[in-house]
Structure 1
Amino acid sequence: MTNPSRIRAFTSWRRQLSAALACLALAATLSGCDSPGAISGQDDSDRPVVLTTFTVLADIARNVGGDKITVESITKAGAEIHGYEPTPQDIAKASRAHLILDNGLNLEAWFEQFIVELDVPHVVVSEGVEVMDISEDANAGLPNPHAWMSPVNVQVYVENIRDAFIELDPENREYYTRNATAYNAELETLEKNLVQGLSGLKENERALVTCEGAFSYLARDAGLTEKYIWAVNAEQQATPRQIASAIEFVKDNEVPAVFCESTVSDAPMQQVVQGSGSTYGGTLFVDSLSEADGPVPTYLDLIRHDTDVILQALTGDKP
């Protein structure tokens, strides 16, 4: 049966899209139609403009594109990516880009409608990674979209971005290839440090309990057991059964600390803390970087930060 609310949402979306594109086309001649503004740097250089769906991808892409590509994120720092609602300004900005990079794996629930009427190519940067499936809840059997939480997978992202940039700007093939090779070397070191840092955890410390099931890839790489309240942030209203399941897991395994992500409320996890006698270990970053002056302005910082927070909370060691 067709869902009336989805029909209304799609109709509203089409209206916004049409209005935004009309506004873009006529902004120079019609008063009362706010210009959506140029993409940063587009008027100052001839560099190709690439948009990404969220800030983590933007940082990875900038490491490949260097000063030859202008890279911007559609979503801002701190935004929740799964259920993001694009604005007409987002649509107008995207219509002027040369390329859009998205994660795929059902991460950006909004992206299919976003791209459908834009004459802009896009590349799925997760293509080719070793995908893990979600194992619980209504999303069981679907791919876990958070593949970038493994630096090994991000090396595949980098290769896909490099190839996309070479196709977009073939004259700078060697430049993008050098940048990708150098950044992948950093990712290899990051992965070794992640695994080594978490290798000394005791048996009861080798459990990673979070609000969202966003750490499957990191847990796999580091040999940790993952437990979460809900599988995907698109459905972040915790049920009593989910809370009870997390409490039982923490008690049974004597897990010393639990965590939540920066883009959602930690209130459900605080219920787990109260019910289990565990401690709240801190905030982890997954779907978004911080602002430039925050704790995780880059992807490399994000993985280092999360590794440090997990290690310090589970072992009781001070920074």
Structure 2
Amino acid sequence: MIPRRLLPCAALPALIAFSSAPACAETLKVVASFTVLADVVSQIGGENVKVTSLVGPNGDPHEFEPSPADAKHLKAAQVTFVSGEGLEGWMDRLISASGYKKAPVNVSEGIKTRTMEEDGRTVTDPHVWNSPVNVKVWVASIEKALSAADPADAGTFRANAERYTKTLDALDAYAHSKFDTLPHDRRKVLTSHDAFGYFGREYNVSFLAPLGMSTETEASAAEVAKLIEQIKAEHVKSYFFENSNDPRLVRQVATATGAEPGGELYVESLSDQKGPAPTFEKMFRYNVDQLAAAMAKSS
């Protein structure tokens, strides 16, 4: 680890007698539940944090099964971040197994959430990050938690948060520039599961999906048939796969409706570094470009 203070550690022994402060600041060990959140934490923490994502690139946070290594990472963490709203159903089990004693920081508190119907009950949609407006709430929560854990670097966290908030504002403006000029009746696409509700709310785009908010659910034959009829009636022209989900069901629906493939979307997981979506900023821009291109083509 590279020391982050103006004086190297070797030069500090003579000063210890005059100060009760630690000689060297430690890099914060931080855990985030999945890659999208881990990237945003890294943007705010910068070189002052070491972030471990429990769910890896291209992983599904709904169906994630923690390993002993994940428990070890969690137990060593000084700060842990979750998105909450029911996304990480496995987290309580992992906390119990690891012996972690702190409460995770729920970064989504304060977001105006949306509800949806799932198996006959009303549930909260957890996919808040698909709107950069919501991610600004994340940023404020992350900055506050990191500053509390490392007050000496609070100024750096604040500056990083201000910079990244401007990035999120630019992403929001970029999406509006792509969608606002498209006809409303062409802002419709088919995806694997219902994960784009906040995106749709922000940019007036309709997403149809054979599965609900979680990939752990299963669609009945009657539900799939109803969706096929709806797609035909509403003239949905494009469908998309998701990087972290099984594409077979959406391909089946697309075949029955004549929808054309629009590509792959990154919904709840970043790609690896060689892929098109290794950061949230790149993921969001990539999704916007893919969706806008398909809608413009169908227009």
| TM-score between both structures, scaled by the size of structure 1 | 0.82
Change (3 A) 1:76 1:139: farther
The alignment status of 1:231 with 2:215, answered yes or no, reads no
In 1: Cα distance, 2:123 partner to 2:219 partner? 20
Structure 1 gaps, min length 5: 1-43
The alignment status of 1:310 with 2:291, answered yes or no, reads yes
Among 37, 45, 64, the alignment partner of 1:84 is: 64
In 2: Cα distance, 1:45 partner to 1:263 partner? 38
User: Which residue is 1:150 aligned to?
Assistant: 131
The alignment status of 1:118 with 2:106, answered yes or no, reads no
* CA RMSD across the alignment: 1.7
User: Which residue is 2:266 aligned to?
Assistant: 285
User: Which residue is 1:95 aligned to?
Assistant: 75
Change (3 A) 1:139 1:81: farther
In 2: Cα distance, 1:109 partner to 1:88 partner? 17
For 1:124, the aligned partner's letter is N
Among 242, 255, 271, the alignment partner of 1:261 is: 242
User: Which residue is 2:156 aligned to?
Assistant: 175
User: Which residue is 1:35 aligned to?
Assistant: none
For 2:192, the aligned partner's letter is C
Change (3 A) 1:90 1:210: same
User: Which residue is 1:16 aligned to?
Assistant: none
The 10-residue stretch of structure 1 (226-235 or 170-179) with the greater mean CA deviation from structure 2:
226-235
The 10-residue stretch of structure 1 (45-54 or 226-235) with the greater mean CA deviation from structure 2:
226-235
Q: Where does 1:34-73 land on structure 2 (aligned, <5 Å)?
A: 46-73=26-53
Give the number of equivalent residue pairs.
Answer: 273
The alignment status of 1:240 with 2:218, answered yes or no, reads no
SS at match of 1:235: coil
For 1:133, the aligned partner's letter is T
User: Which residue is 1:108 aligned to?
Assistant: 88
Identity over aligned pairs, percent: 29
- Superposed CA deviations along residues 166-209 of structure 1, whole A, max 9, x for unmatched, are 00001111110010010000100100111120112223311132
SS at match of 1:243: helix
Structure 2 gaps, min length 5: 1-23
For 2:107, the aligned partner's letter is V
In 2: Cα distance, 1:281 partner to 1:246 partner? 18
Residue 236 of structure 1 deviates from its aligned partner by 4.4
SS at match of 1:229: coil
| TM-score between both structures, scaled by the size of structure 2 | 0.87
In 2: Cα distance, 1:128 partner to 1:268 partner? 35
For 1:74, the aligned partner's letter is L
Asked whether the 8 Å contact 2:62–2:216 carries over to 1, the reply is no
For 2:81, the aligned partner's letter is L
SS at match of 2:47: coil
Q: Where does 1:289-304 land on structure 2 (aligned, <5 Å)?
A: 289-304=270-285
Residue 110 of structure 1 deviates from its aligned partner by 0.3
User: Which residue is 2:202 aligned to?
Assistant: 221
Residue 139 of structure 1 deviates from its aligned partner by 6.5
List structure 1 segments (4+ residues) > 4 angstroms apart after TM superposition: none
- Superposed CA deviations along residues 241-295 of structure 1, whole A, max 9, x for unmatched, are 2321221121111111022211111111111111111112111111110011111
SS at match of 1:230: coil
Change (3 A) 1:181 1:310: same
